[in-house]
């Protein structure tokens, strides 16, 4: 029974959906969302995932599962990224991030490249922020992020 629950939690969690937007998803709303994410981010960088592990995974095998879970102790993935390119801020060269195992968590895979938006004092990433896996064809996305950072820096200088 526990193996079945573990399978459902780890591999089927993305099918339940994560509601990030309170309004209709349009290009304009997505542009505003990205602009807000760039503004609120302390650091924006690209990096390669070099390690990961599940934290609080022992809760999944507990006889009290799922009654023993609360939002504060849900299992999550902690991952280490090697920072390759800094777009905004001054992140360390090696960064630890967290993502949920449940539906709002960002799917992460060892060896893949990611763009990460991190806020002051937070290292959580999810489907709801602008962090995501990047591929060779994502140059447009990264250029848009860089242009937004540049515009926001110019506005700050003018103030």
pLDDT for 21 equals 58
pLDDT for 14 equals 39
pLDDT for 111 equals 92
Q: Is the pTM of this model over 0.85?
A: no
pLDDT for 155 equals 82
pLDDT (tens place) for every residue of the chain, 159 residues total = 444 444 444 444 434 456 665 555 566 777 788 888 899 999 999 999 999 998 876 666 666 655 555 556 677 889 999 999 999 999 999 999 988 887 778 888 899 999 999 988 788 888 788 888 888 667 788 888 898 999 888 888 876
Asked if 123 and 92 count as a contact pair (C-beta separation under 8 A), the reply is: no
What residues pair up with 97 in beta bridges, in sequence order?
79
Place of tokens 């992460």: 108
pLDDT for 54 equals 85
Give residues with Cβ within 8 angstroms of 88, minimum separation 6. Answer: 38, 41, 42, 43, 44, 45, 149
What string of DSSP letters covers the chain?
-HHHHHHHHHHSGGGG-----SS---HHHHHHHHHHHHHH-SEEEEEEEEEEEEETGGGGG-TTTTTT--TTS--EEEEEEEEEEEEES---SEEEEEEESSTTBPP--TT-EEEEEE-TT--B-BTTSS-EEE-GGGHHHHHHHHHHHHHHHHHHHH-
Token readout for 15 is 């099918």
pLDDT for 92 equals 93
Structural domains of the chain ordered from first start: 2-16+42-158 (2.40.50.120)
């Amino acid at each position: 029974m526990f193996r079945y629950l573990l399978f459902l939690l780890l591999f089927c969690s993305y099918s339940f959906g994560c509601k990030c937007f309170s309004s209709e998803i349009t290009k304009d709303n997505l542009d505003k969302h990205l602009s807000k994410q760039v503004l609120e981010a302390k650091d924006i960088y690209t990096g390669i995932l070099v390690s990961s592990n599940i934290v609080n995974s022992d809760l999944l095998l507990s006889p009290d599962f799922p009654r023993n879970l609360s939002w504060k102790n849900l299992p999550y993935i902690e991952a280490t990224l090697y920072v390759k390119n800094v777009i905004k801020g001054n992140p360390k060269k090696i960064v630890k991030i967290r993502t949920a195992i449940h539906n709002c968590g960002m799917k992460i895979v060892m060896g893949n490249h990611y763009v990460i938006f991190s806020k002051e004092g937070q290292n959580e990433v999810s489907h709801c922020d602008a962090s995501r896996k990047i591929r060779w064809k994502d140059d447009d996305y990264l250029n848009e992020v860089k242009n937004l950072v540049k515009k926001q820096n110019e506005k700050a200088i003018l103030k």
